[in-house]
Amino acid sequence: MTRLLFVCLGNICRSPAAEGVARAMAEARGLSVEIDSAGTGGWHAGEAPDPRMREAALRRGYDLSSLRARQVRRADFADFDHVLAMDEDNLAALQRARPADARAELSLMLSHAPHLPEREVPDPYYGGPQGFDHVLDLLEAAVAGLLDRVEAQGR
Ligand code: 4NP
């Protein structure tokens, strides 16, 4: 079974949304994958996703209410096949933390949606409400591409 970990900074906006989108899209495809999310920072550990993101996600049918934030840990690099970073800062932090013998493959989330002009999923935390919908648009495109790849590889 393929194991996917989505990573942002706080694990309360972008990566829990990615987790919710990926759970729904994998189930719709009948794909057996294990999915989690985490933050490179630990300030919000134990918290539910941001209410603005929960609302925007729920409007599209993704229920994030049971998710709780946690920080990335060393074992993640052994436990997951793919670790998806929302932006370049997150990717750099993961590359610094990645043990030499790690199995996890690190990539930028939007590298799985190469048709999009964007390269990073922007942090919506300090912006307006439309930022959360934009994040969800980007995540739906990237998760679709990522699951295509998982299906093609059979892992
Ligand atoms: P996230 O958004 O990385 O998408 O969860 C953020 C949430 C909180 C903070 C930064 C980013 N913060 O600095 O508190």
Mean pLDDT for the chain overall = 97
Residue of the CA atom closest to atom 9 of ligand 1: 10
Helix (H) or strand (E) holding 135: helix 130-153
Residue of the CA atom closest to atom 8 of ligand 1: 10
Q: How many residues does the chain have?
A: 155
Residues 37 and 15: beta-carbon distance below 8 Å:
yes
Decide if pLDDT at 155 tops 70. Answer: no
CA distances, 83 to each of 24, 142, 143 (Å): 18, 13, 13
What CATH number is given for 2-154 in this structure? Answer: 3.40.50.2300
Mean pLDDT along residues 112-125: 97
Helix (H) or strand (E) holding 96: helix 88-97
What's the CA gap between 122 and 109, in Å, rounded? 11
pTM above 0.95, yes or no: yes
Residue of the CA atom closest to atom 10 of ligand 1: 10
Q: Helix or strand or coil: residue 82?
A: strand
Mutate to test the pocket of ligand 1, among 8, 19, 120 (most ligand atoms within 8 A of CB): 8
Quote the pLDDT of residue 118: 97
Q: Indicate whether residue 13 lines ligand 1 (CB < 6 A).
A: yes
Q: Is residue 154 very low, low, confident or very high in pLDDT (cuts 50, 70, 90)? A: confident
Quote the pLDDT of residue 153: 87
Report, as residue numbers or ranges, the catalytic residues: 8, 14, 123
Q: Indicate whether residue 18 lines ligand 1 (CB < 6 A).
A: no
Domains in the chain: boundaries: 2-154
* Alpha carbon 86 to chain centroid, angstroms: 7
Mean pLDDT along residues 43-54: 98
Residues 68 and 47: beta-carbon distance below 8 Å:
yes
Q: Is residue 28 very low, low, confident or very high in pLDDT (cuts 50, 70, 90)? A: very high
Q: Indicate whether residue 125 lines ligand 1 (CB < 6 A).
A: yes
